[in-house]
Structure 1
Amino acid sequence: MTAVPDASAARTRTAVVTGASSGIGAATARRLAAEGYRVVLAARRKDRIEALAAELPDAEAYRLDVTDRAAVDAFAAELDARHDSVDVLVNNAGGALGADPVATGDPADWRTMYEVNVLGVLNVTQALLPALTASGDGTVVVVSSTAGHGTYEGGGGYVAAKHGAHVIAETLRLELCGEPVRVIEVAPGMVKTEEFAATRFRGDAAKAAKVYEGVAEPLTADDVADTIGWAVTRPAHVNIDLLVVRPRAQAANHKVHRTA
């Protein structure tokens, strides 16, 4: 019997990466571009994603706030109008604010974290799911966190939001069973990027540095990007449901080896 050629293999596959202006998002865009994907960079800071797009062989930059549903729908509609395929969606936009206990946490911070980490994932996934399904071999990646799988003091708002992101991935996988779309969750532990802790502590460099104090080798953005790239490039019938990645020094959210 003569094999039927895979149409998707003959064309350049497209990956949309949210939160692509820095950190894990930018590193993931570079990794997927190296794998031969045409990368669509989506983030709020257009200058940054335009600079990154200029580095990559086949990339485009779109200014996008994932919490703005109208903007997300317009973004999806533009891709559809141009007949652009969408084969991979990496839901990376997210972040943490503050480290206050539940008793004194700022509800505005909790709301902001929920909107970007949960509703942002929902918005972009809903908007691009028809295109991902139509590709015949789509992949949704949710970059959650080990915070989505275990609590720690001072992390209530972020933990709650990342639990929400985890549940979206878990539920979507059940609901898409039988459809040609994989749902992958990558949950990083301690990652040292240029902005995550600084943003969490509103620019307080001393507090940000203390997060990584005494940890010789926390994960890097490239470490997580390699993990995402590996999971995405498995054969189409292979789904990496959940991949937790931590530095060797971190056994759990609350147990980290620190040198003197």
Structure 2
Amino acid sequence: MICPDRFRDTTFVVTGAAQGIGRGVALRAAAEGARVLLVDRADFVAEVAAEAGEAGHAFVCDLETHAGAAAAMREAQRLFGRIDVLINNVGGAIRMRPFAEFEPVQIEAEIRRSLMPTLWSCHAVLPMMLAQRGGTIVNVSSNATRGIRRVPYSAAKGGINALTQSLAMEYGAAGIRVVATAPGGTEAPARRVPRNPEGDDAREQAWMAEAVSQVTESTFFKRYASLDEQIAPILFLASEEAGYITGTVLPVAGGDLG
């Protein structure tokens, strides 16, 4: 349900905005009155920005680097003069396999994918939010902090939960709120950029099936969420309606707290 004008005169940066949850958050924020910088390393993020109309602006960079995150925040400040809301949405398990089967380089890649973009983006935006004496950061974590076949990803998302709570405590007096959602399994259109560019062999496909089964059975509803069921809580936490909520990691996983 669209809430017209909820974000009028508000500026957003949404990372991972080219597809999935990030795309939905960016488009709905724009529909509700925000001006939005859509950030992704996939150049087709420009197509999503075009869907948002005059409210949408695209920026392509690699948020796995601090330089990329800093460039994105500078672009938002150039366009809007301030950043009211940062939605950190980059991440996603690359591989599904038992932990003992991960190679060290694969473990590092999972941490780099699912922790570092949020860590770097928070670090890059804080000076701007401190200067303007306020702002809101919404991190997209996961209930996969308890789950099978993706331990490095689970560790990365556990790091995001800790980051959320520690930043909230450290910067609350400066008027900065830091919150997170922890989505469970979510139905989404096929990815335009594959999760694992190398492809999954038969063993990995079997391990993924085990993970999907665990995620589904761990929910009270025995089903995946829709995209809308993940987008709405993120935008609630970004809104003034959640003005006295900070340091909270909200599970959105059909009862599975992770």
Q: TM-score range by the shorter chain?
A: 0.7 to 0.9
TM-score (norm. length: structure 2):
0.82
- Measured at CA, do residues 98 and 124 of structure 1 come closer, stay the same or move farther in structure 2, by a change above 3 Å? same
- Measured at CA, do residues 76 and 142 of structure 1 come closer, stay the same or move farther in structure 2, by a change above 3 Å? same
Query: Which residues of 2 match residues 97-108 of structure 1 at below 5 A?
Result: 97-108=94-105
1:226 aligns with 232
- Measured at CA, do residues 251 and 186 of structure 1 come closer, stay the same or move farther in structure 2, by a change above 3 Å? closer
The answer (yes or no) to whether the contact 2:251–2:257 under 8 Å persists in 1 is no
2:164 aligns with 169
For these two proteins, the number of residue pairs brought into alignment is: 240
Between structures 1 and 2, the one with greater helix share: 2
Deviation at 1:192, TM superposition (A): 2.0
- Measured at CA, do residues 140 and 100 of structure 1 come closer, stay the same or move farther in structure 2, by a change above 3 Å? same
Q: Give ranges in structure 1 of 5+ residues lacking alignment.
A: 1-8, 254-260
- Percentage of pairs with the same residue: 31
CA deviation digits over 1:216-260, x for unaligned, max 9?
A: 74112221111111121133632152210113xx6466xxxxxxx
Deviation at 1:35, TM superposition (A): 2.0
Query: Which residues of 2 match residues 201-240 of structure 1 at below 5 A?
Result: 203-204=199-200, 207=205, 210=209, 211=212, 217-235=223-241, 237-239=243-245
Matched position secondary structure for 1:187: strand
1:242 aligns with 249
Matched position secondary structure for 1:103: helix
- Measured at CA, do residues 246 and 200 of structure 1 come closer, stay the same or move farther in structure 2, by a change above 3 Å? farther
The one-letter amino acid paired with 1:51 is E
2:184 aligns with 189
RMSD: 2.9
Deviation at 1:13, TM superposition (A): 1.3
Query: Which residues of 2 match residues 1-260 of structure 1 at below 5 A?
Result: 12-46=9-43, 48-57=44-53, 58-82=55-79, 84-148=81-145, 150=146, 152-195=147-190, 199=195, 203-204=199-200, 207=205, 210=209, 211=212, 217-235=223-241, 237-239=243-245, 241-247=248-254, 251=256
Deviation at 1:38, TM superposition (A): 0.5
Q: Give ranges in structure 2 of 5+ residues lacking alignment.
A: 1-5
CA deviation digits over 1:60-87, x for unaligned, max 9?
A: 0000211122222233333334562100
